[in-house]
A and B are shown apart, each in its own frame.
Chain A
Amino acid sequence: MEGDIVQMGAYIGAGLACMGMGGAAMGVGNVAGNFLAGALRNPSAAAGQTATLFIGIAFAEALGIFSFLVALLLMFAV
């Protein structure tokens, strides 16, 4: 019985960790949207900044990845 409750808590927690996806989505959308806004104002400077765009997206995404890590830990390590 006690193990079942722990199991239930782990599954609920893993589901709740999906909320981190929303945060990562906002972050990535923010980076890409602002890049596009800047690129449309000054298209000639945009090509040189694509590397920065991807680095920004990768860093924003990293925190979403950590919620995935939490879900994995709850599913397989608890």
Chain B
Amino acid sequence: MATEAHGAGEPGLVFHPMDQFMVKPLFGDGAVGVFTLTNVTLWMALTVLAIIALLVMGTSRRATIPTRTQSVAELLYDFVRKMVEDVAGKDALVFFPYIMTLFLFILFANFLGLLPMAFTTTSHIAVTAVMAVMVFLTVTIVGFVKHGVGFLGLFWVSSAPLALRPVLALIEVISYFVRPVSHSIRLAGNMMAGHAVVKVFAAFAPMILISTGIGIVVTPLSILAISTIYALEVLVAFIQAYVFTILTCVYLKDALHPSH
């Protein structure tokens, strides 16, 4: 996000709170091209490896009395499966692997981004927009394949008075096309804002090194604030993954059963 580097000579915070979101090449200082290995690549790869490690290690033994890893893997599987079934219906289970992949990727990217010095890949709109647009395209294509032109009935609210229907149809069309925008920016915005708040307080923490008088009050307060907001961020990391997945299910339900 913060593309311009902030010089050390500038007054104000010790470091800029948005610096943590800068995309940097892993090796050397060259420009970032399409195939450059960056910190985004690294943390996405770690996310995928963590998911593979959990699921492969968890299901390799297939014990009747599950080990801890197997319990976690089964818990996640059941959680997402139940969500798809409850929200989108039984016939949406065809899309369960896709939704499970989305959920696990976002969840693990969010949690790995909470590690100190880590990079939060989901804080970039470029990353979340790809996922949201894929969901949008999937839903639209599925809707048209399943129902043909009847899918457009989604925009025609048949329960409303006839005079109101064209106005409602316009609003429905706008809200349909705004979906990928809100879907992607909700996740990116939440992750970015939370991490930036932590960094803002982190910049106040070393105040005691500058002035003992103010620092004796500010430093403990900001460390307390960092710990509290970090705990909140752990919760937000899970809730945002959950919200992204459940909205995918809601959109899928609209495509499979478009009756308003």
Contacts and interface: CB of A to CB of B under 8 A. Distances in A.
Nearest to A62: B182
Given A51-B83, A51-B86, A55-B250, A65 B243 contact: no
A58 B86 CA distance: 18
B185 interface: yes
A69 interface: yes
B185 A51 contact: no
Nearest to B244: A58
A31 to B, nearest CB: 13
Contacts of B86: 51
Contacts of B185: 65-66, 68-69
A54 B182 contact: no
A58 B243 contact: yes
Interface string A52-67: 0011011001100110
Nearest to A58: B243
Contacts of A61: 186
A54 B239 contact: yes
A55 B247 contact: yes
B242 A62 contact: no
Contacts of B3: 76
A21 B87 CA distance: 29
Interface in A33-78: 51, 54-55, 57-58, 61-62, 65-66, 68-69, 76
- Residue of A51, A54, A58, A61 with most chain B CB atoms under a 10 A cut-off: A58
A66 B189 CA distance: 10
- Residue of B1, B186, B239, B250 with most chain A CB atoms under a 10 A cut-off: B186
B186 A58 contact: yes
B246 interface: yes
Interface in B215-245: 239, 242-243
Given A58-B243, A65-B189, A68-B189, A51 B182 contact: no
A55 B183 CA distance: 12
Given A62-B182, A66-B182, A54 B189 contact: no
Interface in B170-184: 181-182
A57 B182 CA distance: 13
Interface of A: 51, 54-55, 57-58, 61-62, 65-66, 68-69, 76
Interface of B: 1, 3, 83, 86-87, 181-182, 185-186, 189, 193, 239, 242-243, 246-247, 250
Closest 4 A/B residue pairs (Cβ): A62-B182, A58-B243, A68-B189, A65-B185
Given A57-B243, A65-B182, A76-B1, 4 more contacts: A51-B86, A54-B239, A55-B247, A68-B189
9 contacts: A51-B83, A54-B239, A54-B242, A55-B247, A58-B186, A58-B247, A68-B185, A69-B189, A76-B3
